[in-house]
Amino acid sequence: MKVKALVARGSAAPFSLEELELAEPQADEILVKIAGVGLCHTDLVIKSVGAEFYPLPAVLGHEGSGIVEKIGAKVSKVAPGDRVAITFRSCGHCDRCAEGYASYCRSFPQLNMSGSRTDSSKVYRNGDEAIAGNFFGQSSFGTHALTYERNVVKVPDDLPLELVGPLGCGVQTGFGGVIRSLEAEAGSSILILGGGAVGLSAVMGASVQQCDTIIVLEPHAARRKLALELGATHVIDPTQAPALADAVRAIVPVGVDYALDTTGIPALLKDTMGCLGSKAVFGIIGVAPPGTPVPGEIGDLVTYGYTIKGIIEGDSDPDTFIPEMMEHYSAGRMPFDKMIKTYPLDQINEAIAAQAAGDCVKVVLIP
């Protein structure tokens, strides 16, 4: 079928909206008409590094939502007409999936980052040119996407369908990072590095967990203001507080119980170690440059009992955790829509510039 989709052709070229041929769904696939798709930093990272990590040209996008149009013969989880949010793909039968840790699926790289179906075929073509797809098992930067049963979660009728896609990656990463990965207790203290969509989702998670002290480090004033609206108790402007440990310990003299990095900035990772209290857990979500060492001195880790924890997708099991987030939203505990600004699909390059400038927090593209 003919569809329109955004194609990434390399780091130097902007995304281009092109008419492509999308393959019909195979027996295990689901065709979804996209209602909205979040713009995630990972999409931009993959576009910038190119074929080193993902084959280009490609259709990216991995925070889609929409209406099921067709299903393959082996699909029973959803039916045409169902409203769905789309998340990352997992196999469903390895030991990690069985334990409820789908984001650490043993087949995660092959299922989400190969650019092809499991039979190596490409789902998109532009004439004679094959275009990579299957990004996070969906490639939802377009009018339609092919996905799988493990990727989709039904969306209740009272939720705004076009806005729920970010629950499939960025929001669940931050929210789940606090709730599932760190398991921050009520009454604890947490430092969140970065007030973008992932960091602000972590703020909402910390609020739901009833953390007493929620500190956000963020240079943009508008994002600091929004952090306070979403539950932060303190915000720090790094341009006004060059010594991070001093600024944090002025709030929590014994150091924080938890820290969560969403920035991937090596110097900031190092500085955060001086903010930790004894037995603190430091969760790392942000993608640091290759070769960045694990922060901290071994002696300090032993002496103070620190834990440094890598986090993917907030340790989410989407079939249970995405519905949990939807319930929090419906109850008013997780107003993630306050972060969102919508743009037409063909204005992705303008949206990228606005997000980078801090003019908006989370972009959702509407086909």
Q: Give per-residue pLDDT as tens, 164-174.
A: 999 999 999 99
Together in a domain, 307 and 347: no
User: Sorting pLDDT into bands at 50, 70 and 90, what band is 52?
Assistant: confident
pLDDT over 80 (residue 128): yes
Interval 14-33 mean pLDDT: 97
Q: Is residue 271 part of a domain?
A: yes
CA distance 63 to 169: 6
Interval 123-147 mean pLDDT: 97
Answer yes or no: are the C-beta atoms of 246 and 229 closer than 8 Å.
no
Answer yes or no: are the C-beta atoms of 360 and 352 closer than 8 Å.
no
What does the pLDDT read at residue 43? 94
The per-residue pLDDT for range 94-111, each reduced to its tens digit, is 999 999 999 999 999 999
Q: Is residue 321 part of a domain?
A: no
Q: Is residue 36 part of a domain?
A: yes
pLDDT over 80 (residue 50): no
What does the pLDDT read at residue 72? 97
pLDDT over 80 (residue 196): yes
What does the pLDDT read at residue 92? 96
User: Sorting pLDDT into bands at 50, 70 and 90, what band is 48?
Assistant: confident
Domain span at residue 11?
A: 2-168+335-366
pLDDT over 90 (residue 232): yes
User: Sorting pLDDT into bands at 50, 70 and 90, what band is 157?
Assistant: very high
Q: Provide the number of structural domains found in the chain.
A: 2
**Sign of dihedral through CA atoms 131, 366, 343, 355?**
negative
Together in a domain, 219 and 143: no
**Phi-psi category of 307—alpha, beta or left, where left has phi over 0 and alpha has psi -120 to 50?**
beta
Residues 6+ apart with CB under 8 A from 213: 188, 189, 190, 233, 234, 251, 252, 256
Q: Is residue 322 part of a domain?
A: no
Q: Which residue has tokens 């043993």? A: 106
Together in a domain, 27 and 164: yes
Q: φ, ψ for residue 162 (rounded to 5)?
A: -70, -15
Q: Is residue 325 part of a domain?
A: no
pLDDT over 80 (residue 343): yes
Q: Is residue 326 part of a domain?
A: no
Together in a domain, 105 and 244: no
The per-residue pLDDT of the chain, averaged, comes to 96
Together in a domain, 146 and 199: no
Q: Is residue 318 part of a domain?
A: no
What does the pLDDT read at residue 290? 87
Interval 259-276 mean pLDDT: 97
Together in a domain, 105 and 241: no
User: Sorting pLDDT into bands at 50, 70 and 90, what band is 342?
Assistant: very high
Q: φ, ψ for residue 358 (rounded to 5)?
A: 85, 10
pLDDT over 90 (residue 176): yes
